[in-house]
Structure formats: structure tokens, C-alpha cells
Structure 1
């Protein structure tokens, strides 16, 4: 064995060797024997920055004690923009009596180059891999969207794991590093696959549904939404490593070009959709052009990726994306302030997505740490955003439908009016006759003063109701109401005031009796008829008393009345003997007699009468 310092005395060499050993960070082997669920290696590894990219695995194994290794202490390794290569190492020990297998996962699918070695206690390399996002997918020892390395540890032995991380042109993404057992990795992979399946399935379902809806109604905003959603789908599918695994596993260069280009296309489709959704070409055409201009800058900044330049792409794209986001936010706030409901929905949806995108890009830039919130913020925010935008599109389609119907009605009215003017001389008498017929039809049904059904309708509707009740066996309740001393009121206050009292009484009737089966009639003068949707005499008396009290509480002055205010007398009939009451006229007479009994008893009261057959 060669002495480390051959030209120095033995004692001095020993002291220098001890100083070098003390200066190097101590490597404590991690025990990975069972039970073992998983471990975040981020804070456990040692780091070595290879500024000139000059080290090889042989250099590390021969000059290990001379190299400036340092402890990581990062939960997630993040080198952001760096021109260096980075070496990582960690020692694993199997303290059990059985061989073990552990899976080391570099949980970042976009990492460019990953070289890995497993070194035994004698310093020999027992396993090595060269893989990464810029190498063919089949270089990965485990077919997975991220990088998974199987490490075998014999019983009672230690293995040193060395990783070399490098990039194409200096853009590192945050690098989570986990050590997992087979079972814990399978559980983690299944959870992630389930979550992403639900996420991408929901996006795909939204995209197909809105595409079919566009084909059905041809609303352009739907097409913009489908293209916007489709671009985002491809972007997320590529960013999470699924596109490289399933779509183009043998095209690493194309895979790396797709990500920045899809981001640029996403910016353009976002601007187009937003302009269409908010109708900016009509409300603010200059803002629409501004949005497309900034989106075009995002797309143009992605073009250098076609020549293999990626770090400059994101140095320009991130500020451009922030500018686009702020511009979109400003437009949405402005339109929302003006009361645009579509813009308000868009603002909420956009804010949710903005938060997710901001968290993700701040994590990429190294400002925020890697965690479940920053890593999956875009997925969570985008899922909520797309659902809200789908709701907004449905709302917009409904608005457009109403506007179209209104326009069609206006056009129809204009055409009808035009035709009427052209045929005025020929059709004048016909039009007058039609107008008279319409007025007669309305008068035939309703009382022109009160708007209530008239006496003719009373006979038709009550006769039909009696027939129906005769078949069902249900009791029918009908009341006649007569305003007390109404002639004296007209004599005192005049007929115009009397008409106003009739209108107020009618309005109060419509306010009180609003059930589906209630029917209100003006039978003549100050007399009204009420067909009630109740089943018992007690219920009918209760609702009539409530109305009688409400009428008295109106406190309409009437100096000739006993109480000084307008009141009414009521006769209420409950009938299920339809042999004795065969038609509306007989029912009216029964209720009218009960009403006159109320008049005879000092008015302002409800008198009831039951006409019941044998049960």
C-alpha cells in the first residue's frame, strides 16, 4: 500500500492524514434492515460540486478523502440553474442476516442525465447504470415514469451508492430522492397512479364532452376551451413523465423539445380562450392583442429548445409567463369590477390556477422547497380551474341562447310590424277585428279591474272541479266574500276610491292564496269567490280567518263601517255530497247564504256550512 505522504516523516504524515480525515465529512452508514418503510435521502446524502465536470467514478474512488464532500441538509435537492455536475453519495448497511433489496427513486421525471454506481466494501463497483431523460427509456432498470434503481445489499455488508447528476445546459429541477422497500414503492406508485388517472381522466372527459358540445352547437368558445384543455393535458402528461413512458420512449430529444414548446402553445391557447371567453375583441380589442402578444413571446422563447438550448428558454419564459398571468389577472379584475358575471367566474378560476402555477415555478426557481403542495399545485389548481371554466361556459351558452331568443323575438316583431305596415290599407279592418277578439278573449277570462278570474271562468272551473272531486271523493271548499258597506264607501269616497279598494283587496287575496289549487274570482261588484286547496272545514276556516284579519289590518279608512275600516263578510262551504251540490251555481248559493248569515251577525266574520254525505 502506498503511503499518502511519501516524502514526509512518518509521524508528520500520520498527523496530516488525521487532519484530512477530520476535514472530510464523516459518512455514517444508514441501516436499511427490516422493518423499513421508506426514507427521504435528501438530508442524508453528501454532495460534491464538479464545477468543471472533470471527475470520473475512478477519481472519486481513488481520491475520496481529498474531495470536498459536504452534507446536503436539504429535504429536496435543488441546484436550480447551475453549470456544474453534482455528485451524491450515501452508505447503506444491511445489519440483518438475510439479503435485502431496496429501491432508490429519483422522483423527478425530467432529469437529463443520471449515472449511478453501487460500490462494495472493497471499493469495487458491483452495479452501475447510465440513464436519464435524455437517454432512451429502456436504459432505466425499472420501467417507471421516474428513475428507480434496485440496490441489493448482502447480509451484514455495507454498500456505497454514488450518483452523478448532470444537465444538458444547466437547468436542474428539484430532485426528491427516496429509498424505499419494494412494498412501500408499490404503495407509493399505486397511490400516484390512481391520483393521476383520476386527474387525467377528468381532463379527458371534460375535453371530449366539450368537443361534442361544440360539434352540436358550434359555439367558438367551446372549441377554444377544448384546444386550451388539450394543450394543457399534453403538457401535464409530458411533465409528469407519462408521455415519455407511453408515447415516445425512443425519442428523448423530441421528448425534451416537447415540454417548452407545449408550454408556449399553452400560453397561446390560454390567451385565445380567455379573449374568446371574455369577449375581449368587442370589449377591449387592444387588450386582446396585448394578451396574444405576450403569449406569442412565450411561444417564441420556446423555439431555442429546437436547437437544444433549454436554460435560456426558461430564463425568458418564466418572466413572460408571469407577465401574461398578471395581464390576465388585470383584465379579469377590470371586467369583474364592471359587473361581468363571466369575468367573475373566470377571475376565481384563474386565481386558483395562478396560485398553483406560481407555487410550481417558485419551486423550479429554488425559492420554495419541494413538497406535496408545490409539486402538485398545478394539478390541483388546474383541476378546479377547468371545472369552474366549464361552469362559466355553460353560463355563457345560456346567456347567448337568451340573447339569440331575444334577437329572434325582436326580429320577428320587426318583421311582423313591417308586414303590418305594408299591408295596412288591406288588413286594417282585419287587424282591428283581431285586436278586438284578443281583448274579448282576455275579458272573457279575467276581470279587467282586479285581474282575477271572472264569473264565467267561475262556472267553467268549478263545474270541472266538482266533477273531479266527485270521482276522487275529496271534499271541496268554496267561499264567497263580500266587502261590508261597500255602497256606502262609494257614496262617501267616490267610485274611483272604491275601485282602488277593490284592487287592494284583490292584491291581498293573491298574496294570501298562492297554492297551486287555489282559484280567485270576482263574481261581481264587491263580491269575490275563493276555491281553496284545503281538505277540511277547520283548515278552510283557519285560512279564511287569517285573510279576514289581514284585510282588517290594512286599515283602509271607512267612516260608514262599524269599525271605521274596510272589512268583509265570508261564507265558507265544505261539500262532499255532490248529489246535493251538482254544479257551480248551487255551490255558490250555499256559500252566498252562509255569507249573508255573516252579514246578519254584524258583518266582518266567517260563517261556515258543511254539506256532507254519509261516510
Structure 2
């Protein structure tokens, strides 16, 4: 029996090696990659075999048992791109080490947003010696090497070979371009350092622009600067997330949140882009209808990102890409139109937006599989956005500088005018002494009165009422003060124009002068349609009767006011009465009491008198 076993043992070993050889060459000849002398970066995409797993029925054990019977196809792409696909995909390659020393090589899948990646290393006896389950939808610590992309270490002993299997899968059928590289440790370190330096410069430049413009906004309070900061901030977070840095440094234990952030930030980016563009080119003034369309498209992009909250990502991009294209075309068209109108800021915006649009277009064409993966298509958004934000920042600086120059020019013109007037006054001072004295008298009058109505102005109100309060405190006499406000006067101005409103103010002032003729009556125009009345009466009832009489007379003027509930001009009154004025500390308190009573009249359908009494019960 032992002899028979010894007799068949060579045959059994030969059969096993033959089966393994057939496995290592599934469907197509799989040439081994010599990694012993490999230096630099090797693009693996043309060297791998692909297997589409439509039903997601294969696992590594099944591949090891039946790999020779499966339909493997050689990759014909320089960069693997499955775009929108409902299948899982298997990749395999064979590496060998013909040197006398063991080697370690790093396999990098340079796509930070890939959902699921399972890796297996199989030795010459068909045994799994290393395996990994990682991906963007798994915790960051599942990665064997802490890096923003997926890096798998492949150990190959001296004189041996290894076969590597990779299983690529997505959450709901959205693949991005999948570049594969094989390299030694030194080449990977050099590549990582180059990328880190490039991204550090890129993100550092964006952050510097953001902080600079934020500080500039705090200094100038120019709203376009704030909109620019919001626009740049959302774009910064979007790029930081899509390049894998946010998952690595900000939220490594939150893969679901990390996946939601990218589409949601794209939606926020569209909204902040619309707000900034409208503010930057002043579109609300020049094109209000287009502004509404612009915000509508931005809102569509934001709404289309919401399915990401429920785990649907392929649908997000199916909806978002058409919305983003329409939004981009609209902004491009508006910028062209405003540029032809001679708007310098629009011309700067047109150049900046065109550069970014080219970068975004190249990137999405690469995502859709139309363009190949290369340095240009991979970093087109970064290059385009960097140029765009720099140009927009320069445009904002130009805008602020323009405002500054206009202000300086106005100040210079004012100084020149003042100098000219001073010289003229100096030449004519001897001859115009009498005229100047007369003019001074007129100025004094103007300083005390309102130029439109001829009533005392607010400055006189402050001075006279302070004196009156002091006098009434000493004498103990009652003081009655009222604030009158013309009802719905803003609506009247909006309906009939400010010239008609001025005529109403003049007629109301004339009527006031006719009704309040006592020696102690004082009439003030406190501002706009608001008047102050110091009444020379002895009781609250007498003051209220006087105001009611004037209110009725004003309504009887029948000054047409279609937007008022009364159809004519009316007024509301707040009347304050006090004796000794002990309850009134100062003029401001008196004003607030009367103003509060007046607003009570407004609240009770207007066209009425509301009183506030601080008289004793015996009075």
C-alpha cells in the first residue's frame, strides 16, 4: 500500500501543479510581472484581467476552485473605469520575484472615494496568505497603510510568485475612474510627497484666499466678500472631502457621513455659487428674472443631493449633472451678456468661470468614461478652481479699489470746491458783509425750522422741550405733549410718488398751524411723517378734544389715499399728560411715552387718539 502511494505521489503532485498553472492563466494568458527589479511606478491597468460579477455571486474561495472556468477578460484601458454599473468587478494579476532577496511592493488604488475594496494574495500552492477588506464605506483603520488612497503591501519571497485578486464593488452602482499602480516603497514615498506638496500648496492657497477675504469683509462689510468666502468655503470642503483628506484627518470613524458630505457639498456649492454670482455681477438689478432662474437651478442641484442622506448616490449624480450643466451654461451666458454691456467685473468673472468650467467638464467627462484618466483630467478641477478663485479675488480687489478711488475723487472734488469757495469768500468778504449777516440770519432760521413745512425741527424739539420740562417742574403746571404720525404714509409715497407725499406734508403742516394758535403751542416736525405737538392746555380732556378736532379736520380734507383703509389721509395720535413732570426723567422718556401711545393707536385701526396720563386723581 505504501509503495502504491509512493508510486502515485509524483503523478498527484504533477496534477496539482498543472491545475494551479491552469488557474494562474484564467481565460487569457496572465503574464507575470517581475517585481524584484521594479523601480518607479508601474500602471497596472493594462496588465490585469477583469471578471464582471453581475450577480455578486463569486467569492475568493469559488475563484480559487473554479477560476479556470470563468470568463476573464484582459483590460484594454489605461485606467479602469466602470462608470455606472450594477456589477461587482474582480481583478487579478501575477507578480514574481526572481531575485535572491524577498521584496515588498505597494499596490495603490488611487481613488479615495471607492466604496468597497477586498484584496487577497495567493501563494504558489493556492493558499491565501494576506487579505484585506477596506473601502470608503468602511472605517479608515481597515486600511493596511494609513493613506488617503488605498495602498496594499504585497510581500513576495525570493524566487517565488504571488497572485493578487481585487474585488471592487459600490454601494449603488456608481464607479469612478480607478487608477492602479504598483511601486516600491521609495517610489511610493516620493509620489506621496509630491502629491502632499501639491495639495498642500493648493489647499493652503485656497485657505489663504478665504482668510484674507474674510478679514477684508470684516474690515469693509462689503457683502460680495462674504458671499465669496461662503462660496470658497464650500468648495474647499468639497475638494478636501473628495480627495480623501477629510476622511483621513477629520472623521475617520464616520464612513457614512463621509460619503454623504461629497454630494451634499456639491449642492451647497451650487447654492453659494448662485448667491456669489448674483452679488458679484449685481444681477438682481440688471436681470431680476434671470436671477430667479439662477436660484431655481441652484435649488434643483441642492434638492438632487438630498437622496444621499438616504444612501442613494447614483441617483444623485443622474439628477445633479444635468442641473449643474444648466446652471453652468446660464452663468456663462449671463457673464457673456454683461461683458458685452461693458461690465469689467463680468469680464473677469467670464474668464474665471470659463477656466473652472473647462476643469469641471474635463473631470465629469472622465467620470463618465468619455475621457481617459490622466494628470490633466484628474487635477483639472484643482487647476481650474485655483485660477478661478484667484481671478475672482483680484476682481473683488479691483471692485473695492474702484470704490476707494471714487471716494477719494469725491473727497478731492469736495476739497477743491471748499478751497475755491474759501478763496471766493475771502475776496468778497469786505463787500458782502451785510449779505452774509442776512444769510446768517436765514441759516439760523433754517437751523431751527424744517425747510419743507416751516415747523420747528427735531433739534429745536430737544432744546425747547428740555427747557419746558424744567419750567413745568418748577411751576407744577401740567404738560401735554402729543406725537402725530400720518397713517400708511409709506404706501402713499409708493403709490403717488414722493413729490405728492411732500405736498401732503405741507398741507398737514398748514392745517396744524391753523388749529394750534395759542401762545404756548409748539409744533415740530420730528422726521418723515411724524410730528410733535406741545399743547398749551390745562387738562387731558381739553388736549384730547383739541386733537380730535384736528383729526376730524384732517380727515375732512379728503386727501385721496387708495391704499389706506379709510380711503383718505388720516393720522394717529399718542397724547401724554403729566403734572410736575416727576414721572418723566427727560425728553427721551416723554417721547417714548407719547410714541408708545401713538403705536397703540396704530394697532387699533389707526385714525384715533390714545392718551397716557400721569396726572393725579385729584386733577
Q: Same fold (TM over 0.5)?
A: yes
Distance 1:145 1:93, change over 3 A: same
Q: Shift of the alpha carbon at 1:38?
A: 2.2
Q: Does 1:398 align with 2:401?
A: yes
Change (3 A) 1:348 1:158: same
Normalised to the residue count of structure 2, the TM-score between the two structures is 0.63
**What is the deviation of 1:207?**
0.5
- For 1:268, the equivalent position in structure 2 comes to 271
Map 1:81-480; keep pairs closer than 5 Å: 81-404=84-407, 429=432
Cα distance between partner residues in 2 of 1:378 and 1:45: 29
Task: Measure, in 1, the Cα distance between the counterparts of 2:82 and 2:198.
Answer: 28
* Alpha-carbon distance in 2 for matches of 1:162, 1:35: 20
Structure 1 residues 132 and 356, CA, compared in 2 at 3 Å: closer, same or farther? same
Paired with 2:74 and 2:269, the residues of 1 have a C-alpha distance of 40
TM-score scaled by structure 1? 0.64
Partners of 1:303 and 1:309 lie apart in 2 by 9
Residues 493-537 of structure 1: CA deviation (Å, up to 9, x unaligned): xxxxxxxxxxxxxxxxxxxxxxxxxxxxxxxxxxxxxxxxxxxxx
Contact (CA 8 Å) 2:23, 2:64: kept in 1 or not? no
Work out whether residues 96 and 162 of structure 2, in 8 Å CA contact, stay in contact via their aligned partners in 1: yes
Shift of 1:400: 2.6
CA displacement, residues 228-280 of structure 1 (integer Å, 9 cap, x when unaligned): 11111000000100000000000000000000000000011111111100011
Alpha-carbon distance between aligned partners in 1 of 2:53 and 2:260, rounded to the nearest angstrom? 27
Question: Structure 1 residue aligned with 2:80, among 73, 77, 84?
Answer: 77
Q: What is the CA distance between 1:36 and its match in structure 2?
A: 2.2
Query: Would the alpha carbon gap of residues 99 and 402 (structure 1) be closer, same or farther in structure 2, given more than 3 Å must change?
Result: same
Shift of 1:405: 5.4
Deviations 1:175-212 (A, max 9, x none): 00000100000000000000000000010011001100
Following superposition, the deviation at residue 281 of structure 1 comes to: 1.0
Structure-2 separation of matches of 1:20 and 1:245: 38
Structure 1 vs Structure 2 CA RMSD: 2.8
Asked whether the equivalents of residues 43 and 78 of structure 2 are also in contact (C-alpha less than 8 Å), the reply is yes
Q: 1:54 to 1:279 in 2, by over 3 A?
A: same
Runs (4+) of structure 1 exceeding 6 A deviation are 17-23, 406-416
Q: Unmatched 5+ residue regions in structure 1?
A: 1-16, 417-425, 434-615
Report deviation, 1:35. Answer: 4.5
| Residues 572-591 of structure 1: pairs in structure 2 closer than 5 A | none
- Please give the per-residue CA displacement for 1:70-94, whole angstroms capped at 9, x wherever unaligned: 0002110000000000000000011
Q: Matched residue pairs, number?
A: 411
What do the CA deviations read for 1:469-508 (whole angstroms, capped 9, x no partner)?
A: xxxxxxxxxxxxxxxxxxxxxxxxxxxxxxxxxxxxxxxx
Please state how far the C-alpha of 1:335 moved relative to its aligned partner.
Answer: 0.3
After alignment, is 195-204 or 34-43 more displaced?
34-43
- Deviation readout 1:132-158 (Å, 9 max, x if unpaired): 000000000000000000000011111
Shift of 1:389: 0.5
Listed one character per residue, the Cα deviations across residues 1-33 of structure 1 (whole Å, up to 9, x for unaligned) are: xxxxxxxxxxxxxxxx99999992111111111
